[in-house]
């Protein structure tokens, strides 16, 4: 583990800025940063290098997030963890347009909250476990892909992606999740999770090939302000690990 004994010891003061503790290869981290950029939220990034073990350092655990995970945030003196908690807090604290998250409207926000809760037990583990089996673990352990493990994790991923497309990307003429016509924090969370699989190249293309609504939604999300900047690190990794062949 790198020596980061002092890196996180200074907790930001209440300065009207969202201080985000992120690793840009983390899907929830990218969703959080993309939200701030697209919505015009004043923010400052504090990079936490997971590969160097900085999230496990005593300094980070003591001053930022005792759970030793990213993302985390400090906003006007309030420390918080869990990406969806942070997304909701930012929407309300900075009084953002209700299209992002209707914090003052209980009924309209039901659909978004429903997706955010579903995400953590469906799309998140489905995509993450498949990604680990198909790419991350073989790369980190310098070994061949375990095709049995890939086949097992692919099933849960495909079910989650199917439901994302058929259940949440719905509504007459709806262009975003939950039957909405403008992006919300639900879209940000889903988008960054799903497109992590782009590193798999043609395998990702095959997953979404028969889902034109999902393909169009991804294209719309990539037009959000800040997309290119937020995905700079991710796109470099994707380019360096091109996967033209299907598993």
For every residue of 80-118, which 3-state class applies, written as one string? EECHHHHHHHHHHHCCCCCCCCCCCCHHHHHHHHHHHHH
Q: Are 219 and 140 members of one domain?
A: yes
**Final residue belonging to a domain, choices 93, 127, 146:** 93
Q: Are 82 and 166 members of one domain?
A: no
What is the token pair recorded at 182?
Answer: 């403008």
pLDDT in the model for residue 38 = 98
Q: Are 182 and 147 members of one domain?
A: yes
The domain that holds 160 is classified in CATH as 1.20.1050.10
- Tell whether 26 is covered by a domain: yes
Identify which of 189, 172, 175, 197 has the alpha carbon closest to the alpha carbon of residue 115. 189
CA distance 223 to 140: 32
Q: Are 55 and 172 members of one domain?
A: no
Q: Are 24 and 89 members of one domain?
A: yes
Q: Alpha carbon 159 to chain centroid distance?
A: 19
How many domains does the chain fold into? Answer: 2
pLDDT in the model for residue 185 = 98
- Tell whether 1 is covered by a domain: no
**Final residue belonging to a domain, choices 69, 93, 117:** 93
Q: Are 81 and 114 members of one domain?
A: no
pLDDT in the model for residue 27 = 98
pLDDT in the model for residue 141 = 93
pLDDT in the model for residue 105 = 97
- Tell whether 155 is covered by a domain: yes
Residue holding tokens 């009207």? 16
Give the helix/strand (H/E) hosting 79. strand 78-81
Q: What share of the chain is helix, strand, coil (3-state, %, to 5)?
A: 55, 10, 35
- pTM of the shown model: 0.94
- Tell whether 202 is covered by a domain: yes
pLDDT in the model for residue 245 = 56
The domain that holds 47 is classified in CATH as 3.40.30.10
Which residue segment(s) compose the domain that 225 sits in?
106-240
Listed as ranges, residues in the chain with pLDDT below 70 are: 1-5, 172, 242-247
- Tell whether 162 is covered by a domain: yes
pLDDT in the model for residue 241 = 84
Find out whether 26 and 236 touch, Cβ atoms under 8 Å: no
SS3 state at 38: helix
Q: Are 171 and 192 members of one domain?
A: yes
**Final residue belonging to a domain, choices 93, 116, 142:** 93
**What is the DSSP code string of 180-237?**
BSS--HHHHHHHHHHGGGGGGTHHHHHHHTT-HHHHHHHHHHTTSTTHHHHTHHHHHH
Query: How many Cα atoms sit within 13 Å of 43 on the Cβ side?
Result: 26
Identify which of 213, 173, 224, 204 has the alpha carbon closest to the alpha carbon of residue 33. 224
- Tell whether 3 is covered by a domain: no
């Amino acid at each position: 583990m790198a020596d980061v004994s002092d890196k996180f010891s200074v907790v930001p003061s209440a300065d009207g800025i969202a201080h985000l503790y992120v690793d840009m290869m983390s899907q929830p981290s990218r969703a959080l940063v993309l939200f701030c950029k697209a919505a015009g939220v004043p923010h400052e990034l504090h990079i936490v290098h997971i590969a160097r073990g900085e999230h496990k350092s005593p300094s980070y655990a003591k001053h930022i997030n005792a759970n030793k995970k990213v993302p985390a945030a400090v906003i006007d003196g309030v420390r918080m963890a869990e990406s969806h908690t942070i997304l909701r807090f930012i929407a309300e604290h900075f009084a953002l347009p209700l299209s992002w998250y209707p914090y003052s409207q209980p009924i309209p926000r039901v659909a978004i909250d429903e997706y955010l809760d579903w995400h953590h037990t469906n799309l998140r583990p489905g995509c993450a476990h498949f990604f680990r089996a198909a790419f991350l673990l073989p790369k980190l352990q310098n070994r061949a892909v375990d095709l049995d493990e890939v086949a097992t994790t692919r099933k849960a991923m495909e079910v989650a992606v199917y439901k994302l497309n058929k259940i949440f990307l719905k509504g007459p003429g709806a262009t975003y999740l939950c039957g909405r016509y403008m992006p919300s924090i639900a879209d940000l969370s889903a988008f960054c999770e799903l497109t992590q699989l782009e590193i798999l190249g043609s395998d990702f293309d095959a997953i979404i090939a028969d889902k034109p609504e999902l393909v169009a939604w991804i294209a719309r999300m990539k037009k959000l302000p800040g997309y290119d900047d937020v995905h700079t690190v991710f796109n470099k990794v994707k380019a360096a690990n091109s996967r033209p062949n299907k598993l």
